[in-house]
Amino acid sequence: MLQRKIEKELKRWLDKSNKALLVTGARQVGKTFIIRSFLKNAGMDYVEYNLIAEENVVKILDSAEDVNDLVLKLSLYSQKRLIGGKTVIFFDEIQEFPEIITKIKFMVEDGRFRYILSGSLLGVELKNIRSAPVGSLETLTMFPLDFEEFLQIANLPDGLLDTLRHCFSECTSVDPIIHERMLRLFNLYLIIGGMPAAVDAYVRTNDMEEVMREHQSIALQYKSDFTKYESQNKKLLLTRVYDLIPSELNSKNSRFKLTSIDKTARIDRNENTFAWLTEAGVAIPVYNVTAPTFPLELNVKSSFFKLFLSDVGMLTTLYGRMTKLRIVENERGVNEGAIYENVAAQELLAHGFTPFYYQSKRTGENDFIIEYDDAALPIEIKSGKDYMTHVALDNFMSIREYDIPSAFVFCRGNVSKAGRICYFPMYMLMFLTNSNPDKTVISLDNYTF
């Protein structure tokens, strides 16, 4: 069983928090599995209610007059005894009854039980609840397995990641043999991605067709959600936008253009569509900032953005099996720029950053910019051999009033440094983490596969 980082956060919650816990994230990232696994491994007595499978529980939640009435009805409904001071109550798929969030404050104040809530589409479904339970609920957001978590399937020697982490922090080169091995593993991650079902399919079968079938199944579930939770007109637009992401990323200008669907369509009139995909966790928006000044959020130009898929393996599946084959065989014929940028956005988000990009007529376009160690950090993603050529980044770094202390370029080359620019292999994205968690917009994920 692959270990994931959220297990540490779940343990911290169990040991130190008296609040309810909400675990959210896109469908199929493994929320239910990790909660069950954690509670079992911790030796906790728990009762699980699935609000999709058990409509009677929704009726109980909706009709309960107070906490005592709720506990009584749940006790009568459950086949397991609810023991005050011992039992953890786990409500899964709470998007079916988002009003549970308004009730959780009173359930927590009652103090008899601990509560874990989980569900998908919660960014969408919880928008219209009457009130948020301030002080009674904490949230963890899950993502697909990041590259470091994925590496558990490779059975790397003990201490290797520590050695690589030291090379990253000291900006020193990696042994060439190790470097080549890590690049091959990173290529494997590009074609499998981090969706637990796809990783499991690869581990069990070593068959890429099985992996692709899992990706296709997940995409169908996403589109089913479009149908289930939205009107017919919006469902069609959501599906078209989602299907368009791979081709837009592969275009010369990877900025998303709604006119690719409808020549008369305008971004500002369809903001809810992009917000839906983002809040459902199936897409990652990266907005343009007009200046690299803090906080970056205040400089966002919301009509200019890139849209990435939440999982790079699903992206390469949409590009087709020949793309996957070329990646594994390290062929240069495939346009890896879009794929590399997607995995970078995915890693940055999972590691606690809110990624932006910068573009101006004066400098050109920089792939990403983040807040890192109390400074703006420009990041370039290079898939080709000429990774030390970066005109836009050089222009950006030359502007004195920006006072940019350093920049990172992630590429296929080994670690090196030239002036204020550090060059890192793509696999070292796993070591770029938010050192100031107070600035984290989305909670760091962790979970067991």
- pLDDT tens-place string over residues 286-331: 999 988 888 898 888 877 889 999 999 999 999 999 999 999 888 7
Q: What share of the chain is helix, strand, coil (3-state, %, to 5)?
A: 50, 20, 35
- pLDDT tens-place string over residues 324-382: 999 988 876 667 889 999 999 999 999 999 999 998 888 888 999 999 988 899 999 99
Assess whether 228 and 101 both reside in one domain: no
Give me the pLDDT at residue 127, please.
58
Assess whether 135 and 203 both reside in one domain: no
Assess whether 389 and 321 both reside in one domain: yes
Assess whether 350 and 401 both reside in one domain: yes
Assess whether 73 and 213 both reside in one domain: no
Assess whether 206 and 159 both reside in one domain: yes
Asked which of 116, 142, 168 is the last residue of a domain, the reply is 142
Assess whether 38 and 122 both reside in one domain: yes
Question: What is the spatial distance between Cα 356 and Cα 341, in angstroms, rounded to a whole number?
Answer: 12
CATH number for 73: 3.40.50.300
- Check residues 434 and 311 and name the one with the higher pLDDT: 311
With b meaning 16 or more CB within 10 Å and e meaning fewer, what string describes 245-257? bbebbeeeebbbe
Q: In the sheet where 356-360 sits, what is the strand order?
A: 300-309, 283-289, 356-360, 364-372, 375-381, 407-411, 421-425, 416-418
Q: Cα(first)–Cα(last) distance of the chain, in Å?
A: 6
For residue 334, how many other CB atoms are within 10 A of its CB? 19
**Cis amide prior to 295 (ω within 30 degrees):** yes
How far from chain centre, in Å, is Cα 173? 29
- The DSSP annotation for 308-330 comes to EES-HHHHHHHH-HHHHHHHHTT
Assess whether 248 and 322 both reside in one domain: yes
Residue 28, domain extent: 6-142
311: closest CA among 337, 273, 350, 276?
350
Assess whether 102 and 168 both reside in one domain: no
